[in-house]
Chains A and B, each alone.
Chain A
Amino acid sequence: GAVVSQHPSRVICKSGTSVKIECRSLDFQATTMFWYRQFPKKSLMLMATSNEGSKATYEQGVEKDKFLINHASLTLSTLTVTSAHPEDSSFYICSARGDGTYGYTFGSGTRLTVV
């Protein structure tokens, strides 16, 4: 079946630094990638949607300059948290959808802790 590999699974960084999270579709072409953020005891909040080769579409309230999304190929999308602060600490999950397919394949998530 379809697999999305997300790395790293956990990362701790210092305040003010940037962190990159990668999601790779291993056996299908991910034409659309979704990035979510999950707060404790809250649902997954969609941050942005990206299509390969296009600029990401951000949800209302999400700072596009802080959460940089790149979807330069059909198998790789990255989320970079720039100038991270403790309030950016969260669980980030990617989800990919292939062209013409119905389903969404999720990565295993990245636990980001900013100290």
Chain B
Amino acid sequence: GNSVTQMEGPVTLSEEAFLTINCTYTATGYPSLFWYVQYPGEGLQLLLKATKADDKGSNKGFEATYRKETTSFHLEKGSVQVSDSAVYFCALRGGGSEKLVFGKGTKLTVNP
């Protein structure tokens, strides 16, 4: 079945550091890929998405590229801020299904 393997945290960085959170997936067909963010005390919010190979999703300085050859969708940001502290979830939706499959989440803490 479909699955997502996500780099486990926690990850602690200093402000303005470079961020990478690895995500790989297993799926049949051509899934859509997502990154969700959960700020403390809030629900999950869509951060970015990509629906086909080589697509790059981007939002708020975050980027992730859909790499079919490596079945990866790594999240990157060049310069993190304290306000980026949150839990990040990689997810996929398999073709023809409404269900989202999530990774375990990575907690990011950015210190000033």
Contact = CB atoms under 8 A, between A and B. Distances in A.
B46 interface: yes
B100 A46 contact: yes
Given A34-B99, A49-B98, A97-B98, A106 B45 contact: yes
B103 A34 contact: no
Contacts of A32: 98
B43 interface: yes
B43 A44 contact: no
Interface in B6-57: 6, 8, 36, 41-46
A93 interface: yes
Interface of chain A, main secondary structure: strand
Contact of A41 (B46, B100, B104): B104
Interface in A100-115: 103-109
B8, B46, B99, B100: which has the most chain A beta carbons within 10 Å? B100
Contact of A93 (B44, B46, B101): B44
B105 to A, nearest CB: 6
B66 interface: no
Contacts of A41: 8, 104
A57 B92 CA distance: 20
Give the interface size class of chain A. 20 to 34
A104 B45 CA distance: 9
A109 B41 CA distance: 8
B43 A106 contact: yes
A6, A34, A108: which has the most chain B beta carbons within 10 Å? A108
A104 B89 contact: no
B43, B45, B46, B104: which has the most chain A beta carbons within 10 Å? B43
30 contacts: A4-B43, A6-B43, A9-B41, A32-B98, A34-B98, A34-B99, A34-B100, A41-B8, A41-B104, A43-B4, A43-B6, A43-B103, A43-B104, A44-B89, A46-B100, A46-B101, A49-B98, A49-B99, A93-B44, A95-B44, A95-B100, A97-B98, A103-B46, A104-B46, A104-B100, A106-B43, A106-B45, A108-B41, A108-B43, A109-B43
Interface of B: 4, 6, 8, 36, 41-46, 89, 98-105
